[in-house]
Structure 1
Amino acid sequence: MRLSFNMKFNAGLDGILNTQNKMNRAQDQLTKQTRILTPADDPAASAKVLGLDQNLEQVAQFQNNSVLLKNNLALEETVLTNMRTSIDKARSLAIAAGNGAYTENDKKAVAQELKNIQVELLDLMNTRNAEGGYIFSGFQDKKQSYSFNQATGIYEFQGDDGQKALQISPTIALPGNDSGKMVFENVDARFKTTAAVISAGGATAAEVSVTDQSQFDAFYKQAYDSLTPANNDFSVALTAPSNYEILQNGVALVPPVTGAFVADAPIQFNGLTITVSGAAAVPGQVDFSLQPPEKKNILTTIGEFITALETPGLTNFEFNEAISDTITQVTSSASNIDSFLSTIGGRVNVLDSVFGTNEDLTINNKSYRADLSEVDYAAALTEITKQEIALEAISNTFVKVSGVSLFDYIR
């Protein structure tokens, strides 16, 4: 077979180019730190690497979400802890105000302290996060959580009950906030009765007061009837010669609650103390009712007590009722905050656990990815050296061969 000059030239050039391509490929593997430059290099490994990359990207997003959630929860925890301290101060002031020795000036001084606490609490309840959102406003975090309504004289919640959850694993999403509607609004005001009313007989005065709040609370929760309001009406029926019986909606209780009546002597009934005065009280009747349940936030509770402190001429009964309302409601507010602090702690524990699991998963996936795709540096360097030597040899041969023609042999 005759070998033309073009055939020899092209064969030599192909050898140079092939060797150059092999060397370039090895250099690309080193530069890109992967042995798989195209899916065709290893289709099975390439598909696995693609899946691992997607998984690593997803886990990285989960980890970013975890960091964001933890920061938000840490902020809320700090705010609620500071609120707890302020509420404890308010409770101490309310207890001290009930010692019976405070003058009107003393009460005004306490009122001023409570105003300062109220401002502190309002500021904390309107806390914003790093993005400028109000942390207790739910989904409506561009709205200020609380503001004072001049018309009603109370502090009103302006957000909603939304919780913003973020995914921290394929199956777990955790809320990074708690709405003020649940933390501050979902707090029962003190359960109590209406004032005693003398509806029959010659009694000169009658009074009903809660003297054992926990006992009355248990009775109230069992007895209050939201469907039939008349069942919330109670009476002390006084009959000759000197007896009393407690009635509910005009009907005797089961079992009956009866006893001997003595004017001005206390009648005990499920945490209530009822007193009726007057020698001509028998026969007669004194009525009272269970007040409907209501919710009050801590700002409104403190505001009402400030009003009581600044109102001169309140009877001892009225002032003591204000103190009881305040102590009960600030205690309930504190308990609700404690409950949410506990919930936050639980979420943080889950976050830490899942974060650690995701870190381990990331390490394992990166290790597996490296086994599938990372270049063997020693092998790649050896390949480059080998191809460089081959390229030099082929190039030298090509130069010599391409320079030879038939005329060289004739000569």
Structure 2
Amino acid sequence: MRLTFNMQFNQSLNGILNAQQRMTKAESQLSKQTRILSPADDPAGAAKVLSLDQNKTQIDQYQTNSILLKNNLALQETVLTSMRTSYDRVLTLTIASGNGTYGAEQRKAIAFELRNIQTELFDLMNTRAADGSYIFAGYQDKTPAYERDPVTGVFEFKGDDGNRALQISQSISLPGNDSGKAIFESVFKRFQPQVTLAPAGANLNVSNQTTFDSFYRANFDSLNPLNNQFSLQIDAGGSYQLLRNSTAVNPPVTGSYTAGQPISFNGLTFNLDAATTLPTQVDFTLPPPEQTNVLNTIQRYIDILNDPNATSDELSVVLADTLQEIASTSSNVDGSLANLGGRLNVVDSVFNTNADLLISNQQYKADISEVDLAAALTEIKRQEVALQAASQTFQKVNATTLFDYIR
């Protein structure tokens, strides 16, 4: 009898504990809004939920990267837009200073404004992001992109051509900055020939820069310097021809020279003194291309404007150089702005796509694990009834005595 009593007691107690456990689980599911409290509740569902959580974490990081990338690109866009406005002002001042009626004081006034613009551009080219990095310095973003040599006064690029990319989706990575080397340093000085031999009073000018630039790019030989040597030869009868490396060019360039009249060729104009004795020749070479940056371009023009001994011809040459180099820099900036706009569009598109993926992720996770409110409340009520029944049974068993069994 004692054994039977103990068995009934233990069964009743276990009934209460099991009912309490089931009720606690139902309440936890309701409070946590999930039916999977542990992998044992639904192994397959728990694995899917874990995968969805990992996917959400990854997309959240992509979204964080997108925001950071957009802020970086927006900052660069603002800086380049401001610089583009400054370039236009430099062009305006440069063209105005070419007015032959301007005196020394007016040129100095223009030089003073150009120096202020130069200082502004120098600051913009050393713009720092919120984290203190120099946005145009490439990978060397802890130091300024540009510095001025205290001895020579030359502005030098101190960064590199790297850019830091940020991952904004599983397959899309975009650079968050552009190196100043690509934007500001990839500017060629104005192409122009270098006269090596000419009779007195003769000169060689670039009359059409676009045409000459095309000729230069098509003919400059970086491997054989002799192919960069040209000669305009005029014989005693006034017939002329153009030679390259002592050989007639192909197609031939020939004609008849009239004393005092210019000879034009591919954007070049040869001017000889009318009294020049024939035969004669003008030798010139195509010098190697050189690169510069806008800061040095402006500095050179400031120097010529402030030089009281500069001739009109010297001023004209530097003016043409400045116009050409500023235009090239402006073109680089325009290209960078267009590229930035494209990247910003991609960032916005990917950000919206990722936001949609997060919503789908959340919905799928809810379908797998989210608890049904009505079912959870029903289960709690059912377990509450079961617990009450088990408690009542336990009370009866616990009140049973040996006399009850005897009866």
In which range does the TM-score fall when normalised by the shorter chain? over 0.9
Q: How does 1:139-288 map to 2 (within 5 A)?
A: 139-195=139-195, 197-198=197-198, 203-288=199-284
- Mapped partners of 2:235, 2:403: distance in 1: 149
Q: Quote the sequence identity (%).
A: 55
1:347: which partner in 2? 343
Q: Structure 1: where are the runs of 5+ without partners?
A: none
1:184 Cα deviation from its structure 2 partner: 0.8
- Mapped partners of 2:307, 2:240: distance in 1: 37
CA contact (8 A) 1:146 1:155 kept: yes
2:19: which partner in 1? 19
Tell me, what secondary structure is at the counterpart of 2:367? Answer: helix
- Mapped partners of 2:193, 2:234: distance in 1: 20
1:15 Cα deviation from its structure 2 partner: 0.6
1:31: which partner in 2? 31
Q: How does 1:366-385 map to 2 (within 5 A)?
A: 366-385=362-381
- Counterpart code for 2:236: A
Q: How does 1:294-373 map to 2 (within 5 A)?
A: 294-373=290-369
Structure 1 ranges of 4+ moved more than 4 A: 408-411
For the pair 1:391 / 2:387, whether they are aligned, the reply is yes
State the TM-score, normalized to the length of structure 1: 0.95
- Mapped partners of 1:254, 1:21: distance in 2: 99
1:113: which partner in 2? 113
- Mapped partners of 2:256, 2:313: distance in 1: 25
CA contact (8 A) 2:195 2:282 kept: no
RMSD, matched Cα: 1.6
1:393 Cα deviation from its structure 2 partner: 2.6
Q: Name the stretch that deviates more: 273-282 or 161-170.
A: 273-282
Q: How does 1:23-172 map to 2 (within 5 A)?
A: 23-172=23-172
1:286 Cα deviation from its structure 2 partner: 1.9
1:29 Cα deviation from its structure 2 partner: 0.8
Tell me, what secondary structure is at the counterpart of 1:178? Answer: coil
| Cα deviation 1:334-377 (Å, max 9, x = unaligned) | 00100011111111111122112111111111101100001112
1:408 Cα deviation from its structure 2 partner: 4.6
State the TM-score, normalized to the length of structure 2: 0.96
- Counterpart code for 1:210: V
1:405: which partner in 2? 401
CA contact (8 A) 1:204 1:281 kept: no
Tell me, what secondary structure is at the counterpart of 1:4? Answer: helix
- Mapped partners of 1:4, 1:410: distance in 2: 13
1:41 Cα deviation from its structure 2 partner: 0.7
Tell me, what secondary structure is at the counterpart of 1:246? Answer: strand
- Mapped partners of 2:267, 2:293: distance in 1: 25
1:396 Cα deviation from its structure 2 partner: 2.5
- Mapped partners of 1:248, 1:135: distance in 2: 46
CA contact (8 A) 1:196 1:207 kept: no
Tell me, what secondary structure is at the counterpart of 1:237? Answer: strand
| Cα deviation 1:129-152 (Å, max 9, x = unaligned) | 011000011111101000101333
- Counterpart code for 2:383: Q
- Mapped partners of 2:108, 2:260: distance in 1: 33
- Mapped partners of 2:152, 2:228: distance in 1: 27
- Counterpart code for 1:270: N
Q: Structure 2: where are the runs of 5+ without partners?
A: none
- Mapped partners of 2:55, 2:3: distance in 1: 57
Tell me, what secondary structure is at the counterpart of 2:156? Answer: strand
1:400 Cα deviation from its structure 2 partner: 2.5
- Counterpart code for 2:334: D
Aligned residue pairs, count: 407
- Mapped partners of 1:83, 1:106: distance in 2: 25
- Mapped partners of 1:159, 1:246: distance in 2: 44
- Mapped partners of 1:226, 1:306: distance in 2: 32
- Mapped partners of 1:179, 1:273: distance in 2: 39
CA contact (8 A) 1:29 1:37 kept: yes
1:3 Cα deviation from its structure 2 partner: 5.5
Tell me, what secondary structure is at the counterpart of 1:277? Answer: coil
CA contact (8 A) 1:197 1:206 kept: no
1:389 Cα deviation from its structure 2 partner: 2.3
1:292: which partner in 2? 288
| Cα deviation 1:72-107 (Å, max 9, x = unaligned) | 110111110000000110011111111211111111
CA contact (8 A) 2:232 2:282 kept: yes
- Counterpart code for 1:235: S
Q: Name the stretch that deviates more: 84-93 or 257-266.
A: 257-266
Tell me, what secondary structure is at the counterpart of 1:241? Answer: coil
- Counterpart code for 2:397: V
- Mapped partners of 1:90, 1:364: distance in 2: 53
